[in-house]
Amino acid sequence: MTTALLAVTVVATAPAVARAESNGGVRVMPLGDSITEGTQVPGGYRIGLWQRLAAGRYTIDFVGSQYNGPGNLGDHDHEGHP
């Protein structure tokens, strides 16, 4: 009984695991305000950053709770809050 109770307690208190997609690359969180979100220019600085890293043959995974941007942006995740 003690073992079963301990197992339930461990499972119930285990931290939640994020279930976001990943391409296996280095995770980069574009963080900032309107220039990150892309208020004036869709995608903001993230487009140039993505293109430069891709040209350098880096595998990256943008992460964040926000999602937007134009089609030429390889990954739309970010943490830009205008």
Query: What number is the average pLDDT over the span 7-28?
Result: 56
Does residue 13 form part of some domain? no
Q: Which domain holds residue 28?
A: 23-80
**How many whole angstroms from its chain centre is CA 33?**
16
pLDDT of residue 34: 94
As for how many domains the chain has, the answer is 1
Question: Is residue 80 a contact partner of residue 38, using CB atoms and an 8 Å limit?
Answer: yes
Does residue 61 form part of some domain? yes
Question: Is residue 26 a contact partner of residue 59, using CB atoms and an 8 Å limit?
Answer: yes
11 pLDDT band, cuts 50/70/90, is: very low
Does residue 50 form part of some domain? yes
Does residue 15 form part of some domain? no
User: Does the global pTM surpass 0.75?
Assistant: no
Does residue 5 form part of some domain? no
Does residue 7 form part of some domain? no
75 pLDDT band, cuts 50/70/90, is: very high
Pairing mode, if any, of strands 26-28 and 77-80?
unpaired
| % of the chain beyond a pLDDT of 90 | 67
| % of the chain beyond a pLDDT of 70 | 74
Does residue 16 form part of some domain? no
Does residue 6 form part of some domain? no
Number of H helices, E strands in the chain: 3, 5
